[in-house]
């Protein structure tokens, strides 16, 4: 119990002291994970929308595969991205290994299936409700996709938040492709792993508490934005 009390104390000490090292790490964590989610949304939402409306042979298999990929082990993704970005790998000349960009790539790969699968399910339900109307308007399939994405925008936020949760919390991928380099690629989760390995358990848990609070803040912000937007849309 003493450890938990000490952890909360550490968390407060770090936050109240506005520890510059902490701010740097928090900022990089947000930057990497948010960028990954944005890119994953650009890729994943259209995939989800396509899966929701299109009917083709093998669709079921594709849906199952993408849904299963939600469980991609971060350490495996990290390893694959490392092998690609390594100087001995195919993309070595890009010199991206041990940079924040490498971390964004790895997290994007982890998040795309989550957004695509969850968005696909949401939009499929929506499509069931709206199909007759959309048919009635005689919209083309591309316009139908766009309408669905727009009408489902608030429900789709949940898919994005699920992706963000995955990205901000994972350590297995970013520690391999980022290298946990101080001031360059150290994020919240890799800092927690490092402090744990130094045996500074209270500090590690303190950082963990801050990470959870950060996730709550991001979710609360999205919740408020969504509430405000819904009010103005239906007012």
Partner 1 sequence: MKKTIASLVTGAALFLAAASFVPAYAGEFILLQSTTSTQNSGLYDHLLPIFEEKTGIEVRVVAVGTGQAIKNAGNCDGDLLLVHAKSAEDVFVAEGSGKQRRDMMYNDFVLVGPSSDPAAIKGLADINAALKQIAAAKAPFASRGDDSGTHKKEISLWKKAGVETVAHSGKWYRETGSGMGATLNAAVGMEAYVLTDRATWISFGNRAGHEILVEGDPDLFNQYGVVTIDPDHCPNIKSAAADRFVDWLLGPEGQAAIADYRLDGQQLFFPNAENGDS
By the 8 A CB rule, do 188 and 169 touch?
no
Q: Does 111 engage in binding with partner 1 (CB under 8 A)?
A: no
- In the complex, minimum distance from the CB of residue 128 to partner 1, in angstroms, rounded to a whole number: 26
Judged by CB under 8 A, the residue of 97, 149, 171, 218 near partner 1 is 97
Q: Which two tokens stand for residue 103?
A: 């971390």
Name the residue nearer to partner 1 (CB basis): 74 or 100.
100
Considering only residues 31 through 90, tell me which ones interact with partner 1, judged by CB under 8 A.
31-32, 34-35, 38-39, 86-89
147, 149, 153, 159 alpha-carbon torsion, rounded to 10° = 160
**What gap in Å lies between CA 185 and CA 190, rounded to an integer?**
9
Residue 160 CA: distances (Å) to CA of 28, 48, 70: 19, 12, 13
Closer of 55 and 183 to partner 1 (Cβ): 183
Least distance from partner 1 to the Cβ atom of residue 14, Å: 16
149 vs 6, 49, 142, 145, 220, CA distance in Å? 47, 7, 11, 6, 22
Binding to partner 1 by residue 98, rule CB under 8 A?
yes
Give residues 2-31 in contact with partner 1 (rule: CB under 8 A). Answer: 31
- Contacting partner 1 (CB under 8 A), which of 19, 65, 95, 133? 95
Token pair recorded at residue 92: 């070595």
CA max distance for the chain? 66
Contact between 206 and partner 1 per CB under 8 A: no
In the complex, least distance from residue 177 CB atom to partner 1, rounded to whole angstroms: 10
Q: How far is the CB of 132 from partner 1 (least distance, A)?
A: 26
Q: Which of 46/53 has CB closer to partner 1? A: 46
Looking at the chain, the number of H-run helices and the number of E-run strands are 10, 0
Using DSSP, state whether 13 is helix, strand or coil.
Answer: helix
224 in contact with partner 1 (CB under 8 A): no
Contact residues for partner 1, defined by CB under 8 A: 31-32, 34-35, 38-39, 86-89, 92, 95, 97-101, 104, 179-184, 194, 196-201, 203, 225, 228-229, 232-233
């Amino acid at each position: 119990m003493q450890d938990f009390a000490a952890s909360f104390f550490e968390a407060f000490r770090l936050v109240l002291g506005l520890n510059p090292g902490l701010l740097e790490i928090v900022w990089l964590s947000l930057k990497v994970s948010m960028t990954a989610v944005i890119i994953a949304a650009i890729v994943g939402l259209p995939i989800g929308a396509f899966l929701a409306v299109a009917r083709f042979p093998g669709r079921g298999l594709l849906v199952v595969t993408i849904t299963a990929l939600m469980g991609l082990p971060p350490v495996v993704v990290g390893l694959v991205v490392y092998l690609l970005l390594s100087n001995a790998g195919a993309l070595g000349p890009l010199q991206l290994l041990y940079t924040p960009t490498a971390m964004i790539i790895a997290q994007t790969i982890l998040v795309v299936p989550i957004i695509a699968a969850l968005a696909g399910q949401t939009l499929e339900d929506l499509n069931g409700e709206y199909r007759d109307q959309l048919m009635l308007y005689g919209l083309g399939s591309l316009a139908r996709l766009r309408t669905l994405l727009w009408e489902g925008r608030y429900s789709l936020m949940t898919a994005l938040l699920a992706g963000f949760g995955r990205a901000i919390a994972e350590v297995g991928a970013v520690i391999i492709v980022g290298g946990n380099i101080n001031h360059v690629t150290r994020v919240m989760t890799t800092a927690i792993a490092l402090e744990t390995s130094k045996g500074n358990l209270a500090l590690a848990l303190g950082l963990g508490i801050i990470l959870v609070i950060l996730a709550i803040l991001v979710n609360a912000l999205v919740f408020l934005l969504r509430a405000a937007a819904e009010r103005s849309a239906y007012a």
